[in-house]
């Protein structure tokens, strides 16, 4: 809006002249209006689909909601009771802790596997382009479909994973992956790692491609071994991209929902509930929208931890200049 | 060892390692395709999993085609709607943010970055109650508006990053020649941005096609449902209909696979630009 202030200021400076707007000024005002018109749909959309829901979620979290209050936009004020009851609930507490451990373990393994594959694809071998494009497939599948596929693979009877483990004699009895809390958590974690590896691989691979080969060659001539070249040359050079993949990976992982619902539905006995899935349960299974909103606020705060970092990593794009 | 022999050895070892990685990463997809040709008794409660079944059947596909046609159509409508709405919002906004300097440009771009971070379940919880009042539950427009939230911020940022790289002189020349801002946008900027537009259309389409959270929360299943919701009900708590679920999963996976083959270079390039510079 501050752009529109410029022409009016010019009018006051020329106070000796007639007050009627000059054709040039109206054209300028028109041009400014056009600029904002280009932005209007996006502004309206961001307001409707992001700003209002976030603010409304905050309002809801302080209200005493019930199925009866759905038909009104507001419900009686409840103070902090949604927060205190939700956060005292052991299921919510363990869902919050689990979301942390799940995020840390996911990112760790996604990075280790993704970086190893990126290094692999950085070598010269036949069909590497073909292999690199195939590797993207897991990342493009609908997440619920992936969850369902892995539910099938991890079945107790006639499950592919159990069959492989039995065939190589690692186990003698099939494992009830869906029945034990520990195994259920592991299956969700493995599935999520499988989903994220292509993303890490592709981004880290394109970063490796940008590392100047003269730099590696110079280190080799100076007597650096492969490990030293990796830790002292390659990793420092691609550090900005590593930061980006970790921040984006964090953002993807804290809000994981579809995979859990498709794979375990939060079970057995709520042992694989994450913040997002438990908030869904509170709102859409128990119809306690206020309690769900309170837990959503917790999720929102955790996700927004990444915001300053994410904006800082994109600081170049905040300026209007060409990248 | 000579340098050539050494290089051959590395290439051979790398090929084998890449092959193993691909087998592990793509086995789940192989398993889905195979399972879609098996009967439910082969898939659920059988004594062992067969990596290559001895009997094959097309019955899952005939059931899916006769019962799930409308759900596949719903998914297609939702995905196309999401792509169209996203483009309609993102293209002009990206153009404005790339071409004009607003004093609030940093603020606008910053809020788009934050919007990308917001968890969909938070939005779904609020939208359910808002939609209830606006009578947008169980409607295509309501679901498409919600699904576009996956794509709009990302697509604006990717398109803007691309448009910032377009030569300014060409747009300026069009304006000098008497083209209006709108004409310069539609006749000059859009044709030059073709590859970026393809990337974001694919992205938005796949987001609409794959959405589950908003379908689960904003639809009750009585009017229409996308395939993600159908797959969920096939193998939910009360049924274990694996054969049909897997045949439907093959359909659900098809667009991603086809788009990947058709537009592979656009996807790879677009994702890299969007994620690192977006």
pLDDT of residue B95: 94
Of A39, A280, A323, the CB nearest to B121: A280
Which residues share a beta bridge with A77? A63
- Scanning every residue of chain B, which has its alpha carbon at the shortest distance from the alpha carbon of A289? B125
Q: Are B49 and A159 in contact (CB under 8 A)?
A: yes
Tokens 């499988």, located at residue: A194
Which residues from chain B sit within 8 angstroms of residue A71, using beta carbons?
A: 132-133
As a whole number, mean pLDDT of residues B221-239 equals 83
Task: Determine whether the interchain pair A39/B92 forms a contact, defined as Cβ–Cβ distance below 8 Å.
Answer: yes
Structure-block tokens of residue B107: 């603020």
Which residues from chain B sit within 8 angstroms of residue A149, using beta carbons?
A: 28-29, 31-32, 249
pLDDT of residue B237: 60
Which residues from chain B sit within 8 angstroms of residue A33, using beta carbons?
A: none
Structure-block tokens of residue A195: 């989903």
Which residues share a beta bridge with B267? none
- Scanning every residue of chain A, which has its alpha carbon at the shortest distance from the alpha carbon of B107? A318
Distance CA A243, CA A248 (A): 9
> Quick check: B278 pLDDT over 70?
no
pLDDT, tens digit (0-9, with 9 covering 90-100), for B93-127: 999 999 888 888 888 999 999 999 999 999 999 99
Q: If we measure between CA atoms, which residue out of A2, A302, A298 comes closest to residue B107? A: A2
Q: If we measure between CA atoms, which residue out of B149, B78, B90, B100 comes closest to residue B120? A: B149
Which residues from chain A sit within 8 angstroms of residue B150, using beta carbons?
A: none
pLDDT of residue A139: 79
Of B51, B115, B161, the CB nearest to A323: B161
- Terminal C-alpha separation, chain B: 46
pLDDT of residue B205: 93
ipTM over 0.85: yes
Kindly provide the b/e burial profile for residues A285-321, where b requires at least 16 CB atoms within 10 angstroms of the residue's own CB. Answer: eeebbbbbbbbbbbbbebbbebbeebbebbeebbebe
pLDDT of residue B270: 55
Which residues from chain B sit within 8 angstroms of residue A73, using beta carbons?
A: 129-130, 133
> Quick check: B1 pLDDT over 80?
no
| Residue A73: how many other CB atoms lie within 10 Å | 13
Distance CA B209, CA B76 (A): 7
Kindly provide the b/e burial profile for residues A137-175, where b requires at least 16 CB atoms within 10 angstroms of the residue's own CB. Answer: bbbbbbbbbbbbbbbbbbbeebbbbbbebbeeeeeeebb
Q: If we measure between CA atoms, which residue out of B3, B277, B22 comes closest to residue B154? A: B277
Q: Are B250 and B33 in contact (CB under 8 A)?
A: yes
Which residues from chain A sit within 8 angstroms of residue B236, using beta carbons?
A: 265
Q: If we measure between CA atoms, which residue out of A203, A207, A240 comes closest to residue A315? A: A240
Which residues share a beta bridge with A63? A77
Superfamily in which the A81-317 domain is placed by CATH? MetI-like (1.10.3720.10)
- Terminal C-alpha separation, chain A: 25
Q: Are B119 and B249 in contact (CB under 8 A)?
A: no
Of A134, A265, A323, the CB nearest to B237: A265
Distance CA A277, CA A260 (A): 8
Distance CA B55, CA B52 (A): 9
Tokens 């656009």, located at residue: B266
Of A120, A206, A262, the CB nearest to B17: A120
pLDDT, tens digit (0-9, with 9 covering 90-100), for A2-34: 333 344 444 444 444 445 555 667 778 888 888
Q: If we measure between CA atoms, which residue out of A113, A271, A252 comes closest to residue A188? A: A271
Structure-block tokens of residue B143: 């679901």
Q: What is the dihedral of CA A169, A172, A174, A176, to 10 degrees?
A: -120
Looking at every residue in chain B, the average pLDDT score rounds to 87
Task: Identify the CATH number of the domain defined by range B68-277.
Answer: 1.10.3720.10
As a whole number, mean pLDDT of residues B51-79 equals 90
Helix A23-46 vs helix B69-99: angle between axes, to the nearest 10 degrees? 140
Task: Determine whether the interchain pair A149/B31 forms a contact, defined as Cβ–Cβ distance below 8 Å.
Answer: yes
Distance CA B146, CA A207 (A): 34
Distance CA A215, CA A234 (A): 9
The shortest C-alpha distance from B15 to chain A (Å) reads 6
DSSP state of A2: G
Task: Please give the helix or strand (H or E) that residue A235 lies within, else none.
Answer: helix A235-254
Q: Are A82 and A62 in contact (CB under 8 A)?
A: yes
pLDDT band at B267, cuts 50/70/90?
Answer: low
Q: Is the four-CA dihedral B197, B203, B209, B214 of positive or negative sign? A: negative
Query: In residues, how long is chain A?
Result: 323
Task: Determine whether the interchain pair B164/A261 forms a contact, defined as Cβ–Cβ distance below 8 Å.
Answer: no
Instruction: Give yes or no for a cis peptide into A238 (omega within 30° of 0).
Output: no
pLDDT of residue B268: 57
Of B103, B114, B217, the CB nearest to A2: B103
pLDDT, tens digit (0-9, with 9 covering 90-100), for B172-183: 888 888 888 888
Q: Are A158 and B46 in contact (CB under 8 A)?
A: yes
Distance CA A164, CA A189 (A): 19
> Quick check: B138 pLDDT over 90?
yes
Of A53, A56, A206, the CB nearest to B272: A206
Distance CA A136, CA A197 (A): 9
pLDDT of residue B266: 65
Tokens 């009627």, located at residue: A20
Phi and psi at A77, nearest 5°, equal -65, 135
pLDDT < 70: residue spans in chain A: 1-24, 319-323
Residue of B84, B129, B206, B258 to mutate when probing chain A, most A C-beta within 10 A: B129
pLDDT of residue A297: 96
Domain ranges of chain B: 3-35, 68-277
Which residues are CB-contacts of A99 (< 8 A; sequence separation ≥ 6)? A254, A274, A275, A276, A299, A302
Distance CA B172, CA B189 (A): 11
Helix residue spans in A123-159 (DSSP H): 128-134, 137-140, 143-153
pLDDT of residue A1: 36
């Amino acid at each position: 809006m501050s752009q529109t202030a410029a022409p009016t200021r010019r009018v006051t400076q020329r106070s000796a002249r007639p007050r009627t707007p000059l054709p040039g000024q109206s054209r300028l005002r028109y041009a400014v209006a056009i600029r904002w018109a280009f932005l209007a749909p996006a502004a309206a959309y961001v307001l409707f689909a992001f700003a209002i829901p976030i603010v409304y979620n905050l309002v809801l979290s302080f209200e005493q909601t019930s199925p009866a209050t759905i038909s009104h936009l507001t419900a009686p004020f409840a103070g902090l009771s949604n927060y205190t009851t939700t956060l005292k609930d052991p299921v919510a507490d363990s869902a919050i802790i689990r979301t942390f451990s799940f995020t840390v373990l996911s990112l760790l393994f996604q990075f280790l596997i993704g970086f190893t594959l990126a290094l692999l694809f950085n070598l010269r071998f036949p069909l590497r382009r073909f292999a690199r494009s195939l590797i993207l497939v897991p990342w493009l599948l609908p997440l619920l479909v992936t969850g369902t596929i892995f539910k099938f693979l991890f079945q107790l009877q006639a499950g592919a994973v159990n069959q492989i483990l039995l065939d190589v004699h690692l186990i003698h009895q099939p494992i009830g992956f869906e029945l034990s809390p520990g195994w259920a958590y592991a299956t969700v974690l493995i599935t999520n790692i499988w989903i994220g590896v292509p993303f890490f691989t592709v981004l880290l691979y394109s970063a490796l491609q940008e590392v100047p080969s003269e730099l590696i060659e110079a280190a080799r001539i100076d007597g650096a071994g492969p490990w030293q070249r990796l830790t002292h040359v390659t990793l420092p050079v691609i550090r900005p991209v590593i930061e980006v993949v970790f921040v984006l990976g964090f953002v993807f992982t804290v809000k994981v929902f579809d995979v859990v619902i498709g794979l375990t539905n939060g079970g057995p006995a709520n042992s694989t509930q994450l913040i997002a899935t438990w908030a869904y349960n509170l709102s859409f299974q128990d119809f306690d929208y206020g309690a769900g909103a309170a837990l959503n606020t917790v999720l929102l705060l955790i996700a927004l931890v990444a915001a300053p970092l994410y904006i800082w990593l994109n600081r170049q794009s905040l300026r209007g200049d060409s990248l | 060892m000579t340098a050539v022999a050494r290089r051959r050895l590395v290439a051979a070892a790398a090929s084998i390692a890449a092959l193993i990685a691909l087998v592990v990463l793509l086995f789940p997809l192989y398993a889905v395709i195979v399972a879609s040709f098996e009967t439910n008794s082969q898939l659920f409660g059988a004594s062992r999993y067969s990596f290559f079944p001895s009997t094959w059947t097309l019955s899952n596909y005939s059931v899916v085609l006769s019962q799930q046609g409308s759900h596949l159509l719903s998914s297609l409508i939702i995905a196309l709607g999401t792509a169209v709405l996203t483009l309609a919002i993102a293209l002009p906004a990206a153009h404005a943010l790339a071409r004009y300097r607003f004093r609030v440009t940093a603020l606008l771009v910053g809020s788009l970055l934050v919007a990308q971070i917001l968890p969909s379940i938070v939005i779904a919880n609020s939208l359910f109650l808002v939609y209830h009042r606006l009578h947008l539950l169980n409607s295509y427009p309501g679901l498409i508006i919600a699904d576009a939230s996956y794509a709009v911020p990302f697509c604006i940022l990717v398109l803007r990053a691309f448009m910032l790289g377009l030569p300014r002189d060409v747009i300026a020349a069009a304006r000098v020649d008497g083209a209006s801002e709108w004409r310069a946008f539609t006749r000059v900027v859009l044709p030059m941005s073709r590859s970026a537009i393809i990337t974001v259309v694919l992205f938005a389409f796949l987001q609409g096609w794959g959405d589950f959270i908003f379908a689960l929360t904003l639809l009750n299943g009585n009017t229409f449902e996308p395939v993600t919701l159908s797959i969920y009900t096939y193998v939910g708590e009360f049924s274990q209909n694996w054969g049909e679920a897997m045949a439907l999963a093959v359909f659900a996976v098809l667009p991603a696979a086809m788009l990947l083959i058709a537009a592979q270079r656009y996807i790879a390039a677009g994702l890299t630009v969007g994620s690192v510079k977006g």
